[in-house]
Amino acid sequence: MRCHARPYRTGLHFGRNCRNRQLEKPIVLPCVIRSKETTVQRNSEFTTYFNTWVATELGYQGAPLEPESPILEMGLLDSLQIMQLITALEEREGLSIPLEEVVEENFQTPAAVNAMVTRIKAQP
Protein backbone atom coordinates (compact mmCIF):
# COMPACT_ATOMS: atom_id res chain seq x y z
CA MET A 1 0.00 0.00 0.00
CA ARG A 2 1.37 3.42 -0.95
CA CYS A 3 1.69 6.29 1.43
CA HIS A 4 -0.24 9.46 0.87
CA ALA A 5 1.75 12.56 -0.04
CA ARG A 6 -0.19 14.54 2.54
CA PRO A 7 1.54 15.03 5.92
CA TYR A 8 0.12 13.17 8.89
CA ARG A 9 0.20 14.16 12.53
CA THR A 10 1.48 11.53 14.93
CA GLY A 11 1.52 12.63 18.52
CA LEU A 12 3.49 15.84 18.79
CA HIS A 13 5.51 15.49 15.60
CA PHE A 14 4.69 15.33 11.91
CA GLY A 15 5.59 12.46 9.61
CA ARG A 16 4.98 11.26 6.09
CA ASN A 17 4.89 7.51 6.76
CA CYS A 18 1.89 5.25 6.87
CA ARG A 19 2.94 3.24 9.94
CA ASN A 20 0.51 3.11 12.79
CA ARG A 21 -2.31 4.52 10.64
CA GLN A 22 -4.74 4.01 13.51
CA LEU A 23 -2.94 6.73 15.47
CA GLU A 24 -2.46 9.12 12.58
CA LYS A 25 -4.92 11.78 11.53
CA PRO A 26 -4.67 13.76 8.31
CA ILE A 27 -3.93 17.44 8.68
CA VAL A 28 -6.47 19.56 6.87
CA LEU A 29 -4.82 22.64 5.43
CA PRO A 30 -7.21 25.35 4.28
CA CYS A 31 -6.26 26.72 0.92
CA VAL A 32 -7.99 28.58 -1.84
CA ILE A 33 -6.89 28.04 -5.40
CA ARG A 34 -8.22 30.64 -7.76
CA SER A 35 -7.48 30.46 -11.40
CA LYS A 36 -7.16 33.47 -13.64
CA GLU A 37 -10.26 32.28 -15.49
CA THR A 38 -12.27 32.49 -12.27
CA THR A 39 -11.02 36.03 -11.66
CA VAL A 40 -11.89 37.02 -15.23
CA GLN A 41 -15.35 35.51 -14.83
CA ARG A 42 -15.84 37.30 -11.50
CA ASN A 43 -14.75 40.62 -13.07
CA SER A 44 -17.14 40.05 -15.97
CA GLU A 45 -20.08 39.31 -13.66
CA PHE A 46 -19.30 42.33 -11.51
CA THR A 47 -18.90 44.58 -14.57
CA THR A 48 -22.35 43.47 -15.78
CA TYR A 49 -23.80 44.34 -12.36
CA PHE A 50 -21.90 47.64 -12.33
CA ASN A 51 -23.16 48.57 -15.82
CA THR A 52 -26.73 47.87 -14.71
CA TRP A 53 -26.27 49.92 -11.54
CA VAL A 54 -24.72 52.86 -13.43
CA ALA A 55 -27.54 52.83 -16.00
CA THR A 56 -30.37 52.64 -13.45
CA GLU A 57 -28.98 54.78 -10.63
CA LEU A 58 -26.97 57.36 -12.57
CA GLY A 59 -28.81 57.34 -15.89
CA TYR A 60 -25.60 56.58 -17.81
CA GLN A 61 -26.44 55.92 -21.47
CA GLY A 62 -22.92 55.57 -22.92
CA ALA A 63 -21.16 52.48 -24.19
CA PRO A 64 -21.00 49.56 -21.73
CA LEU A 65 -18.08 49.82 -19.35
CA GLU A 66 -15.23 47.32 -19.42
CA PRO A 67 -13.51 46.02 -16.24
CA GLU A 68 -10.63 48.47 -16.80
CA SER A 69 -12.73 51.51 -17.80
CA PRO A 70 -11.44 54.59 -15.92
CA ILE A 71 -14.72 55.52 -14.24
CA LEU A 72 -13.31 58.35 -12.11
CA GLU A 73 -11.47 59.92 -15.04
CA MET A 74 -14.69 59.71 -17.05
CA GLY A 75 -16.40 61.76 -14.34
CA LEU A 76 -18.92 58.99 -13.84
CA LEU A 77 -18.74 58.99 -10.03
CA ASP A 78 -18.55 61.85 -7.58
CA SER A 79 -18.33 61.50 -3.78
CA LEU A 80 -22.11 61.19 -3.29
CA GLN A 81 -22.39 58.56 -6.02
CA ILE A 82 -19.50 56.61 -4.50
CA MET A 83 -21.43 56.51 -1.22
CA GLN A 84 -24.54 55.33 -3.10
CA LEU A 85 -22.44 52.62 -4.75
CA ILE A 86 -21.04 51.56 -1.37
CA THR A 87 -24.57 51.25 0.02
CA ALA A 88 -25.65 49.18 -2.99
CA LEU A 89 -22.58 46.93 -2.69
CA GLU A 90 -23.13 46.42 1.04
CA GLU A 91 -26.73 45.39 0.41
CA ARG A 92 -25.86 43.16 -2.56
CA GLU A 93 -22.88 41.41 -0.96
CA GLY A 94 -24.08 41.40 2.65
CA LEU A 95 -20.96 43.07 3.99
CA SER A 96 -19.79 46.29 5.55
CA ILE A 97 -17.17 48.30 3.68
CA PRO A 98 -14.75 49.83 6.22
CA LEU A 99 -14.00 53.53 5.95
CA GLU A 100 -10.30 52.72 5.35
CA GLU A 101 -11.29 51.08 2.03
CA VAL A 102 -13.07 54.21 0.76
CA VAL A 103 -10.07 55.60 -1.11
CA GLU A 104 -9.69 56.81 -4.68
CA GLU A 105 -7.67 53.84 -5.95
CA ASN A 106 -10.46 51.41 -4.97
CA PHE A 107 -12.90 53.23 -7.27
CA GLN A 108 -10.71 53.88 -10.33
CA THR A 109 -12.21 51.04 -12.40
CA PRO A 110 -14.98 48.43 -12.03
CA ALA A 111 -12.20 45.82 -11.61
CA ALA A 112 -10.72 47.85 -8.71
CA VAL A 113 -14.14 48.04 -7.02
CA ASN A 114 -14.57 44.28 -7.51
CA ALA A 115 -11.09 43.61 -6.09
CA MET A 116 -11.95 45.67 -3.01
CA VAL A 117 -15.21 43.75 -2.47
CA THR A 118 -13.45 40.40 -2.97
CA ARG A 119 -10.71 41.41 -0.51
CA ILE A 120 -13.26 42.48 2.13
CA LYS A 121 -15.29 39.28 1.68
CA ALA A 122 -12.12 37.20 2.20
CA GLN A 123 -11.40 38.83 5.57
CA PRO A 124 -12.50 36.82 8.64
Gap between the terminal Cα atoms of the chain: 40
Residues β-bridged to residue 25: 9
How much is the CA Rg of the chain, to the nearest whole Å? Answer: 22
* Tens digits of residue pLDDT in 3-24: 445 554 555 454 555 555 554 5
Q: How do residues 67-111 score in pLDDT, each as one tens digit?
A: 999 999 999 999 999 999 999 999 999 999 999 999 999 999 999
CA nearest 6: which of 28, 22, 33, 32?
28
Structural domains in the chain, CATH included, are 1-30 (no CATH), 36-122 (1.10.1200.10)
In the predicted structure, residue 57 carries a pLDDT above the cut 60: yes
pLDDT digits (tens, 9 = 90+) for 72-82: 999 999 999 99
- Mean pLDDT to the nearest integer, 35-47: 73
Q: Side-chain half-sphere of 2: how many Cα atoms within 13 Å?
A: 3
pLDDT band for position 41 (50/70/90)? confident
